[in-house]
Each structure stands twice: as C-alpha cells, then as structure tokens.
Amino acid sequence: MPHSFGARARTRHMFKQNFKQHGSPNVSTFLINYRVGDIVDIKANASQQKGMPHKFYHGKTGIVYNVTPRAVGVICYKVVNGRYMEKRVNIRVEHIKHSKCRQEFLDRVKSNAAKKREAKEKGEHVQLKRLPAQPREAHHISIVNNAPQTLAAKPCEYPLSSLPLCLLENEAHVACHLKEASTVEGSTDIVVFFQSTDETYI
C-alpha cells in the first residue's frame, strides 16, 4: 500500500504534460475571456503550481460562478455517500478551458432551425427528431447469375498423427473414411473422418 497521502499523491501520469507541450503556458491562455455561466473543463497544468485544483477535480466539468483578475470560481458536484454535494472551487485560468460538451447540441439547434425554415417555405413537413438506426426496407433479391447456396457444416478432420492412442484402438469411433492429404512439401498424412453418434467425438 502507498504510504504517502499528500494533495498530489499518485499524480505522476495524471498531471503530465503532452508531447512537445512542456514549459510555461502560452500567452493565449491568459487572453481567453470567461464569463459567469460558462461551462468549463478542469485540467490541471503542472507547470503552474499556483491555483492548481485538487486531483479529484482533474477532468471534471463545472459552471463558472465568479470571475477574478487571475482566477475563476467553478461549481462542481461531488458524490458523497450517494448524494451530490455542490463544491465551489477557485482555480487559476491556466487550469481550465471552455468545454465542448454543448457544441453538438448548439450545432443541431442551428441546423434544425435552417431545415425548419426551408420546409416552411416549401410547405413540407420535416422530421427533426433524432431516430435510431432503422431496419432495412423490404426488397427483392434476383437469382439471375446468383444461384442459391446451401450452407452446411464441414466434416471434422484430424491428422492421424495428432490423435490419441485410445481413439485409434477403438474401432467404433475411428473408421469411416481414410484418405491421403498432400502437403506443401509433398509428404502425405492419413486423415481420419469421425462419424460417431457420441457427442464427445462429434
């Protein structure tokens, strides 16, 4: 068991920087505007130790409730004994970024509005709800140059050298057909086909 329980214990891989992204953050990080109500993702930047969130909040998504010159206040939720507790965390801007969790929804709203406007001009009805994958429509298959094929299981084949001795001595299970199978090198092996009613050897 580990014997260190600090605030940054077991964060060797959690707080590591990506390839070719080590060092102090870019200037563009400080030029991003954050407003109250924005949805942000918390991602700790190990190059800046000030204002770093606890490792529990790394990867969480929250809502900005307060903005200061160098940091923002974020509301997150933490599960404690089966209930959600509201946690207010003050984090510097180096450790947050705008979330893209609503981007797909906003794009769909714009596309639906455009489809609705076009349908209204044409006087048609358009389906805007998302539907799961529908079954394939009924269709006919032609058998011209496409003869039906009957599928069946192939007989079980075993080389004679790989069979146990007890099966070779029992003539009730072995016996049926013997044939010679040519290999790539030109050598021959005896192949045994089992046709037994016993389920063990089918």
Domains and CATH numbers, the chain: 8-123 (2.30.30.70), 157-201 (no CATH)
Q: Which pTM was predicted?
A: 0.62
CA angle 176, 173, 196 (to 5 degrees): 75
Each residue's pLDDT tens digit, 78-133: 999 999 999 999 999 999 999 999 999 999 999 999 999 999 999 999 999 999 99
How big is the chain, counted in residues? 202
Each residue's pLDDT tens digit, 11-58: 999 999 989 989 989 999 999 999 999 999 999 999 999 999 999 999
State yes or no: pLDDT of 63 exceeds 60: yes
CA atoms within 13 A on the CB side of 42: 27
State yes or no: pLDDT of 189 exceeds 90: no
H-helix or E-strand spanning residue 107: helix 103-122
